[in-house]
Structure 1
Amino acid sequence: MERVTMREILAILRCKVKDPGKWWPAETRFEILVGAVLTQNTTWTSVEKAIANLKGLGLLEPTRLADADPEEIGEAIRTAGYWRVKTAYLLAITEWFLEIDARATELTDAELRRSLLEVRGVGEETADDIMLYAYRRPVFIYDAYGRRLLAAAGWGEFRTYPAARKALDGRIRAEGFTVAELAELHGLIVQAGKDARAAGGWDKYWPTSE
C-alpha cells in the first residue's frame, strides 16, 4: 500500500519545489505537438533551440510545415538530435493535426489517444503529453520522472510506461484531479526529479520532502 496519496504528493511537491517553470511552454497548441515530438531522447534546452529555428523560418504554422522541404526542417531541428527521423515524425504529426485538430473536441479521451498512437513517432508518453497540454484532457504522465517518484513514494516500481499506467491509472483518476492540477503536478515532478538527482537520488531526496 502506498504511503501517501497522490494529492498528498502534490502538496509535498508544492512546498518542496521552488520553481517548476511553465508546463508546457508554448504559444500555440500546434507548438505543443511539435515540442512533444522533438523532446524525445533529448533535453528541453535543445528543443527550445530547434523550436526557435522553426519559428524563425515561419514553420511553426501547420500548413507551412506540411509544405516545407524536409531538408530545411531537418536543418532547423538538428539541435534536437535524430533530425532525419524527427523530421518524418514532425511531418506525420502535422498531417494528423491538420486532419484531426478541428474536430478533436468531438472525440472521447480514449478515441483521441488511440488516434494519436496511430501517428508515426507518437508513443504513449508523447500522446499523453499532447492529450494533457494541447487538448486539456485529464491524464497523468508516467514518464521516467514520474515512475521514479512513484517508486520513492511507495507506489511500486514499474519499468515501463504502459505497466505503470495500467496498474495506477484508476487510483490516480479516483482522486479527482483537474487538468490544471495534473499539468502542475507533471511540472513539479520533473523539477523534483532534477532536484533529486542533484541531491544524490530519490532515496535521499524524498524523505526530506515529507
Structure 2
Amino acid sequence: MEISNSFELLKYLKEESLLEKYPEFWWPNENSFEIFLGAILTQNTKWENVEKSLANLREKNLLSLEAINRVDLETLVLAITPSGFKNQKSIRIKKIVSNILEEFFTFESFCKSVGKEWLLEQKGIGLETADAILCYACRQEIMVVDKYTQKLVSSFGYEFETYEDLQAWCEYGINDNLDKIFDLYGYEISLNKLYCRFHGKIVEYMKTRNKQFNKGKK
C-alpha cells in the first residue's frame, strides 16, 4: 500500500476500527490535571506504571496544583515510584507546579493560556511531552508525534530529520483535507479531537502490529 499524505494515512487507520473501546479523545483519563501529570510520568516508562502512580496520587488526594505544591517531596516520591526516575520526576513536577501557580494562578487558566515555548522552558519537558500536555490536557490544536508515528510513516517510505518536520507533515495533510475528513466522519469533527484520535489510532495500530510481529517470532 502507498500513501501520499497524512490524510490517506488517517483514512487507512480509520478503516481498522482501532479506538472503539477507548474514550472519545483516546487518552485513558479525561481529567485534565491527571492527563498533565500522566504526560510527564509516562516519560521512559510503560503506561501501566503511570496508572499505578496516578492511583497512588488519587488515594492521597494529590491531584491538584495546590495539593502537589503543598505535599512534601518524600510523599510525592513514594507515590510516583511505579513510574521510575521517581526522584527526578518528583522534583520536576514540584517545580513546574510551582511555576504554573506563580505564572497562571490556576490550572484552568494555565490550560487556556499556556504555549509551547513556556512549557519547553520547564526542566524535563521536551517536545513530545509539551505537545501531549497542550493537545490532551489543554485541548489545543496540536498534533502529538512520537516513536510510533515515526516508525509508521517510515514504513511507508517517509523519513524526517526532526520532530517538527514529522509533525508538520502530519498536520498539513489533515488541515489540507478537512472537507474530506468531515465527509469521512459524517460531522465536522474539531481539529483537536481529530489530532487526538489520529495520534491514538497510530499508537494502537503500532502496538497491535508489534504484538503480531512478536507472536510470529515465537
TM-score by length of 1: 0.82
Tell me how far 1:173 sits from its aligned partner. 4.0
Offset at 1:27? 4.1
Structure 2 unaligned residues grouped into runs of 5+: 179-189
1:3-26 CA-partner distances (Å, limit 9, x unpaired): 233222222212214446232222
CA–CA separation in structure 2 for the residues paired with 1:166 and 1:50:
33
Deviation digits for residues 131-156 of structure 1, max 9, x if unmatched? 111111111212001111111233x1
TM-score (norm 2): 0.80
The change in CA–CA distance for 1:94 and 1:13 in structure 2 (over 3 A counts) is same
Whether 1:41 and 2:44 are equivalent positions in the alignment is yes
Per the alignment, residue 205 of structure 1 pairs with: none
User: Match of 1:8?
Assistant: 8
C-alpha distance in 2 between matches for 1:97 and 1:25? 24
Equivalent in 157, 163, 166 of residue 164 of structure 1 = 166
Question: Distance between the aligned counterparts of 2:146 and 2:80, measured in 1?
Answer: 23
Deviation at 1:169, TM superposition (A): 4.8
- The corresponding residue for 1:208 is none
1:145 aligns with 2:148: yes
- Report if the CA contact (8 A) 1:33-1:93 is conserved: no
Q: Map 1:165-184; keep pairs closer than 5 Å.
A: 165=167, 169-176=171-178, 178-184=191-197
- Identify which range, 14-23 or 140-149, moves more after superposition: 14-23
Q: How large is the Cα RMSD of the aligned pairs?
A: 2.5
Q: Matches of residues 47-126 of structure 1 in structure 2 within 5 Å?
A: 47-98=50-101, 99-100=103-104, 101-104=107-110, 107=113, 112-126=115-129
Alignment partners' CA distance in 1, 2:192 and 2:163: 20
**Does residue 198 in structure 1 map to residue 211 in structure 2?**
yes
Deviates more, 1:5-14 or 1:29-38: 5-14
Provide closer, same or farther for how the CA distance between residues 137 and 152 of structure 1 changes in structure 2, counting only shifts above 3 A.
Answer: same
Change (3 A) 1:10 1:94: same
Q: What code does the residue aligned with 1:153 have?
A: F
How many percent of aligned residue pairs carry the same amino acid? 32
Q: Which runs of 5+ in 1 are unaligned?
A: 202-210
